[in-house]
Chain A
Amino acid sequence: MAMNSTGRPTAPADAQSTAQDVDTFSGSRGLLQAEPLLFEVGAADKCGVDLPDVPEHTSRLGGLERSEAIGLSGLSEPEAMRHYVRLSQRNYAIDLGLYPLGSCTMKHNPRLNEKLARLAGFADVHPLQPQSTVQGALALMGELSHWLCAITGMDAVALSPKAGAHGEWCGMMCIRAALQERGELSTRRRVLVPQSAHGTNPATAAECGFDIDELPADATGRVDMDVFRSKIGPDVAAVMLTNPNTCGLFERDIREIADLVHEAGGYFYCDGANLNAIMGKTRVRDLGVDAMHINLHKTFSTPHGGGGPGAGPVVLSKRLSQFAPVPYLVQDGDAWRLVEDDAQAEEKPFGRMCAFHGQMGMFTRALAYMMSHGADGLRQVSEDAVLNANYLLARLKGEMSPAFDGVCMHEALFDDTFLKNTDVTTLDFSKAMIDEGYHPMTMYFPLVVHGAMLIEPTETESKESLDRFADTLLSLAVAAKSGSSDRFVSAPVLAPLQRLDETQAARQPVLRWREA
């Protein structure tokens, strides 16, 4: 047998270096490559593609032609590819590990969805193609609409909103249109929004021109019904409620809230971003909802986070369905058709929200997710989401401090009581999780809980995966309480970038690259 006598098959026993001690010449850390900005790696005279010479032409720009080079950095194709692959290696994703970001619902994305979303008949169609050539894509939208209405029991759905907050705006604009038709838009000015609603809710109501009236939470983290009853009146346009709310709790009085707002002549908007905790268990129609958006990218998978893409269809009650925006889908016999023009509409659309019909890729993924799970599978998704969150709540509550007593829905909320009298804050604790290889939970939100830590485990996490996560958090909590704040105050130290100066970044942001 030939031994490798010239190389060094194992490190010498006296090698003392640890990762932090080594400064590399290249700036890379082993296989974790240093990545400069595109402006730093490229050069203006480089180009990744061969462009043909511009033929003889006369300019019609009337002297407005650019006279100097634009100064953009050029890269070869491999350089451009490496740049993004390297950045992606520094990213954290649900495909890499448990992603406990509360209020965001990071779903596992089945690869089947991706395969179907890439089928040419869905992926390579253009919104301006004649509708006769995209009947399959339109039929998919029709089928998706049917599933969304069936799951919620609602009468109609507007597919075009592109994200949750866009969906809120769609729903509130339908309510506005309904009030306008009743001649009550000028007298119904108030929209009631609980503190435990998503932060976008009051922003949406304000954008639609309403005055926001905040509803406080009671000691159990739910809407304070005494205050609610005192605020309801003939000048209320709507109530906007998130259910389950951002404390991860089911609003037990939701039916009474709906009845009271209806009795007073207002509408009930429900933020459905957390539908993944109740679908197949609770029928939205039975809750008395008039409008609710559904985050396809949260409830029905799709890679999201980091800015997109999303889809926020809005289901509507009979009272509001006639005000849904264009374009909307109708079926004539076997043929599908998008009604694009307000003037041709038989209904009373409040207008148009975006250029085309919505996010085709999300529609495909969501329908694939629904059809591969089936009704029983979707119900189990909700059950597992709630079970996983409660498992973590039960495992962690010995060392960490739950914000409220009792069980939770799909997310477990803790406050920072357990860090009291330590030097460790919620921020430090979260940063230390990065060194442990986990994306931090949502922190300092919801605002109604001091030093909040909101943990939402994906329903597909196994018990083993949840146990590893819980063990890590328990160890961190014990370490924090033992009085050693060393591993917390400067964390993360093992990440590609160490702790950033958020204060400086907010006070003196550097918003563009400049040559050094």
Chain B
Amino acid sequence: MSKIYFTEDHEYLIVDGDTATIGISTYAAGQLGDVVFVELPDTGKTVKKGDDIAVVESVKSASEIYAPVSGKITHANEALEDEPETVNGEPQGAGWFFKMTISDVSELEGMMDEAAYAEFTRE
């Protein structure tokens, strides 16, 4: 049974056991405007929570994507390299950035659920 978490940096994690699929929230994709380029992390890389590991570039700005938790990158969504517009179309679906195995699931504690994130982004 998977569960979705959100960070204050507007990333989401869909967590299933110790694996997580990470991308940027629908709200963030709207704020960024048209996404034109995505730089993804290398698979197999071990990352620490808070490391900047990817970049999303829109017509307005370039933003860093942080590792929301510590762990190991297992997949990168290479389809985004040719079709970055998927991030705008389905940010919380086909527009995911990368998947990772979480080394310490307790790092998820304190992250927002869907309702709390909706409240967080209301203003």
Contact = CB atoms under 8 A, between A and B. Distances in A.
A19 interface: no
A444 B60 contact: yes
B34 A503 contact: yes
Interface string B61-86: 10000000000000000000000110
A506 B61 contact: no
A447 interface: yes
A489 to B, nearest CB: 15
- Chain B residues touching A, majority SS: loop
A68 interface: no
Given A507-B36, A507-B84, A507-B85, A502 B59 contact: yes
Interface in A283-337: none
Question: Which of B37, B59, B61, B85 has its CB near the most chain A CB atoms (within 10 A)?
Answer: B59
Interface string A86-104: 0000000000000000000
B36 A503 contact: yes
A447 B61 contact: yes
Contacts of A503: 34, 36, 59
B109 to A, nearest CB: 24
Contact of A444 (B57, B61, B84): B61
B48 to A, nearest CB: 13
A447 B31 CA distance: 13
B18 to A, nearest CB: 29
Nearest to A444: B60
Contacts of B85: 507
B1 to A, nearest CB: 37
A506 B34 CA distance: 10
B37 A506 contact: yes
A444 B31 CA distance: 12
B57 to A, nearest CB: 8
A506 B85 CA distance: 11
B60 A506 contact: no
A427 B61 CA distance: 13
A507 B61 CA distance: 14
A100 to B, nearest CB: 20
Contacts of A427: 60
B22 to A, nearest CB: 21
Contacts of B60: 427, 444
A296 B84 CA distance: 40
A506 B32 CA distance: 14
Contacts of B37: 506
A214 to B, nearest CB: 10
A503 B32 CA distance: 12
Interface string A388-424: 0000000000000000000000000000000000000
Interface in A429-476: 444, 447
A142 to B, nearest CB: 42
Nearest to A425: B33
A440 to B, nearest CB: 14
A503 B36 CA distance: 7
Contacts of A507: 36, 84-85
B9 to A, nearest CB: 13
Interface string B19-36: 000000000000000101
Nearest to A445: B61
A516 B60 CA distance: 32
A328 to B, nearest CB: 37
A502 B35 CA distance: 11
A447 B85 CA distance: 22
Q: What are the 5 tightest A-B residue pairs by CB atom distance, in nearest-first order? A: A506-B36, A503-B34, A502-B59, A444-B60, A507-B36
6 contacts: A447-B61, A502-B34, A503-B34, A506-B57, A506-B59, A507-B85
Given A444-B60, A502-B59, 10 more contacts: A444-B61, A503-B34, A503-B36, A503-B59, A506-B34, A506-B36, A506-B37, A506-B57, A506-B59, A507-B36
